[in-house]
Amino acid sequence: MKAAKIYGPKDIRVENVDIPQLEAGTVKIKVEYAGICGSDMHEYLAGTYPIRTQPVLGHEFSGTVIEVAPDVHTIKIGDRVAVEPLIPCGKCDNCRRGFVNLCISRQGYGYTKSGGFAEYMVASEENVFLLPDHMSLELGAIVEPTAVAVHAVRQSQLNVGDSTAIFGAGPIGLLLLQAVKAAGASRIYVIEVSEERRQKALELGATTVINPMEVDAAQLILDETNGGVDVAFDAAGVQATFHSGVRSVRPNGEFKIVSVWEKPVTFDPNTIVRTEAKISGSYAYVRLFPEVIRLLASGVIDGNAVITSIIPLDDIVEKGFEVLTKDRKQCKILVKPNQG
Ligand SMILES: [Zn+2]
Ligand SMILES: [Zn+2]
């Protein structure tokens, strides 16, 4: 089968590889759609993560089940599914406390096991989630990034009626925007340099969009909210948004970081000493696929709004990774490994 393998920075190749073998407790999936993630982009631009032990990328995908091991009983051939990539060990202290996303020896499809940028993949039964009949397979590939956004909102101190700011309106930012709206945020600022993305944010329910190249976003938010938003989220991962994000929260507010960073940042800790604001992180999700599938299937979160193009696997570098480095109009690009 064909699969996209990463060899290093700026080096992803589509090659012929063996189809992964079905093992006890697993199902074989024909991959239908697989999204290019911001974290894939970081590996493409800055080099692979230490967790990576095999080269086939892709951790946001949907597919159709074509084969099941004899001991699998909850999934059958023909099922339309989304795959949760996280494989916790189940034995470490974090797993036993229920924080499977923080497992110290976690594995993952697209990292330690062959992922979704391939014609076929094999996943454990417990990582496979059924899509309702009326939910598209395209939306099935949006479940994973939506789970990241929903988890971040659930982890935050946001409450119904609160004000919020979202820095960055890429796929995660636009999904965060819809998740905070669903959670009852009364005021949603979105800070984004791209005109197209600001427009999309307005369509999806942002109450104010700010171009940080023209306006001091934090100052505007402080002025309009009488001291800052309750919770700000970072989905951009650069020095400028970190600085603005920390400044934009109210005393006792929270700055929640969802993005992956390529470089360290500097900041003045007095900013939070004097406000007792919190800076916190959010990583992946904890068993959220069923909830997120319902949010997407019902349209509470519009996953289609973040999809901007669908490309064949052969074009994954030129029309996928390369386009995402320069075209801010693009948001989520889905790869379709099997044509027809
Ligand atoms: Zn991702
Ligand atoms: Zn563990």
pTM for the full predicted model: 0.97
17-30 core/surface letters (b: 16 or more CB in 10 A; e: else): beebebeeebbbbe
Q: Which ligand is nearest to the CA of 106?
A: 2
Per-residue pLDDT, 340: 66
- The C-alpha atoms of residue 7 and residue 16 are separated, in whole angstroms, by 15
What is the sign, positive or negative, of the torsion defined by CA atoms of 66, 297, 331, 253? negative
CA of residue 81 to ligand 2 center, whole Å? 25
Per-residue pLDDT, 260: 87
Q: How far is CA 231 from CA 11, 102, 186, 278, 298, in A?
A: 38, 23, 12, 9, 26
Which tokens in the block code for residue 178?
A: 């819809």
Q: Are 261 and 237 in contact (CB under 8 A)?
A: yes
- Rounded to an integer, what is the distance from CA 193 to the centroid of its chain? 20
CA of residue 217 to ligand 1 center, whole Å? 27
The whole-chain average pLDDT of the chain stands at: 97
Q: Which ligand is nearest to the CA of 116?
A: 1
Cβ within 8 Å of residue 275, ≥6 positions away: 228, 249, 250, 251, 252, 253
pLDDT digits (tens, 9 = 90+) for 6-28: 999 999 999 999 999 999 999 99
- The C-alpha atoms of residue 129 and residue 73 are separated, in whole angstroms, by 13
Per-residue pLDDT, 149: 98
Would you place residue 169 in the very low, low, confident or very high pLDDT band (cuts 50, 70, 90)? very high
Domains of the chain: 2-146+285-336 (3.90.180.10), 157-281 (3.40.50.720)
pLDDT (mean) for 92-109: 97
pLDDT digits (tens, 9 = 90+) for 258-314: 998 888 999 999 989 999 999 999 999 999 999 999 999 999 999 999 999 999 999
pLDDT (mean) for 31-44: 96
pLDDT (mean) for 178-195: 97
CA of residue 144 to ligand 1 center, whole Å? 7
Q: Which ligand is nearest to the CA of 99?
A: 2
pLDDT digits (tens, 9 = 90+) for 141-161: 999 999 999 999 999 999 999
CA of residue 225 to ligand 1 center, whole Å? 32
Q: How far is CA 112 from CA 70, 123, 190, 204, 283, in A?
A: 25, 12, 35, 35, 18
> For residue 316, what is the enclosing H or E element?
none
